[in-house]
Amino acid sequence: MSEKADGLRLVLLGPPGSGKGTQAELLSDKLGFVHYSTGEVFREEIGKRTPLGIKVEGYVVSGGLVPDEVVLEGEEVFLQANAGRSVVFDGFPRTIPQAEGLDRLLAKLGLDLNLVLLVDLSDDEVVQRLSRRRQCRNCGKIYNLSFSPPKRPGVCDECGGELYQRKDDQEETIRARLRVYKEQTSPLIDYYTRQGKLVRVDGALGRDRVFARVQELIAEKR
Ligand code: AMP
């Protein structure tokens, strides 16, 4: 696909496991969006044992949220560096103060948030999906043992890396993350509805049908 990205900013909202990361990967691979996943940034920093990684590890492993000021710290630098490009935010913002912070930073840079896509999914489906999710330790590619298994068990199709289960993808932690989502992140649904930016897509439609809808919505914004 050769559609050229031209500076759209898109937020993917939804419970853990709804397929936000997969849609963000597709947007990056097929439409040239810059994929900004705060969770992935944190996992990389934790893996490298950097000061930021050490600071956020406890929150990430337990399924709690990293404090807003830590999350917002890297945001301005990122936005400035990517001002002219299309960006998909995956897992950010996750609280009202983060959303307000993002609005402030964008306004300062003369940029707009063009679309907020709520990829919705029931709690039972979330638990089912996440407990069967595996990720490549090397390149970060995501698999699901039920509907997108690797060709060889435990081995990444793309790079041969080792597949692992994230610590926060175990059932008890998944339930905790769902609680955090309901309490702290779901108020963003109202926040962006009031801004007239929110569109809901049913995550149960599956990867390809959700992506078809995402592409339609993006085409309307261009
Ligand atoms: P994710 O990969 O998006 O599911 O994120 C994994 C974990 O990273 C979350 O459960 C949080 O602990 C942390 N995290 C990621 N993004 C944020 C954010 N925007 N605000 C606070 N914590 C975050």
Active-site annotation holds for 85 = no
- Give all strands of the β-sheet with 34-37 in edge-to-edge order: 34-37, 87-90, 9-13, 115-120, 198-202
Kindly report, residue by residue over 28-48, the tens digit of the pLDDT.
999 999 999 999 999 999 999
Per-position DSSP letters for 117-130, written without gaps between them: EEEE--HHHHHHHH
Nearest CA owner, ligand 1 atom 10? 63
d(CA 89, CA 105): 14
Q: Residue 1 C-alpha to ligand 1 middle, in angstroms? A: 30
pLDDT band at 167 (very low <50, low <70, confident <90, very high): confident
Tell which atom from ligand 1 comes closest to the C-alpha of 63. Answer: 10
**Which position has the token pair 């710290």?**
73
CATH homologous superfamily of 9-33+85-221 = P-loop containing nucleotide triphosphate hydrolases (3.40.50.300)
Tell which atom from ligand 1 comes closest to the C-alpha of 38. Answer: 16
Q: Where are the domains of the chain?
A: 9-33+85-221
39: Cβ below 6 Å to ligand 1? Answer: yes
**Which position has the token pair 């406890």?**
58
pLDDT band at 24 (very low <50, low <70, confident <90, very high): very high
**Cβ atoms within 10 A of the Cβ of 127, count?**
17
What's the pTM value of the predicted model, to 2 decimals? 0.88
Kindly report, residue by residue over 36-87, the tens digit of the pLDDT.
999 999 999 999 999 999 999 999 999 899 999 999 988 888 988 898 899 9
pLDDT band at 7 (very low <50, low <70, confident <90, very high): confident
